[in-house]
Chain A
Amino acid sequence: DAGVTQSPTHLIKTRGQQVTLRCSPKSGHDTVSWYQQALGQGPQFIFQYYEEEERQRGNFPDRFSGHQFPNYSSELNVNALLLGDSALYLCASSLAGGVEAFFGQGTRLTVV
């Protein structure tokens, strides 16, 4: 079992550009959540996808959007990048209603 895999591991983008991050959940998991972790902070919840629908959303602007595919994999898209979007983006998978989330290693996004 490969666990949760994220790609790419590192990414450098220019202010104003758009970025897409990808996540494959742990085998058997149907729910994917995305978190943003700024330097020196704990992870902050962005949104959660289940059955290809956004089920819950945290306090993030509409520039952050996502998608879940029929195979449960997910993408996080960020438009009009700001310097403040530089962070580690974490994907977590779980079973619907489950209490245990498994995290990927994250994508380190740097906006210059």
Chain B
Amino acid sequence: TQLLEQSPQFLSIQEGENLTVYCNSSSVFSSLQWYRQEPGEGPVLLVTVVTGGEVKKLKRLTFQFGDARKDSSLHITAAQPGDTGLYLCADSGYSTLTFGKGTMLLVSP
């Protein structure tokens, strides 16, 4: 059974700071997805990465996929209160999703 570990579990920062959260898998990802989930809502897909070493940028968010396809990081530049939420990584294999426990990010004004 694949295990996804995310760190840190919780992060509280001030607006304007930079941050990085991590996702590590016990086995190679089929493909890796990052989601953001706001309180009372379902997860929303941010990005899908497939190739080892791949880097994708989405405005202030930068996603990196490890060369061995077993780890990933999400870096946010100049965090804003609207970035507050639960960041989940997931393996999207065989059309189902295996999630980590997530990193809860709180950005204060």
Contacts and interface: CB of A to CB of B under 8 A. Distances in A.
Nearest to B96: A45
Contacts of A40: 101
B45 interface: yes
Q: Is the interface of B mostly helix, strand, loop or mixed?
A: strand
Contacts of A4: 42
Interface of B: 4, 31, 33, 40-45, 48, 88, 90, 92, 94-102
Contact size range, A: 20 to 34
B45 to A, nearest CB: 6
Interface in A33-89: 33, 35, 40-45, 48, 55-56, 58
A58 B97 CA distance: 10
B88 A42 contact: yes
A90 B42 contact: yes
Contact of B96 (A33, A41, A100, A104): A33
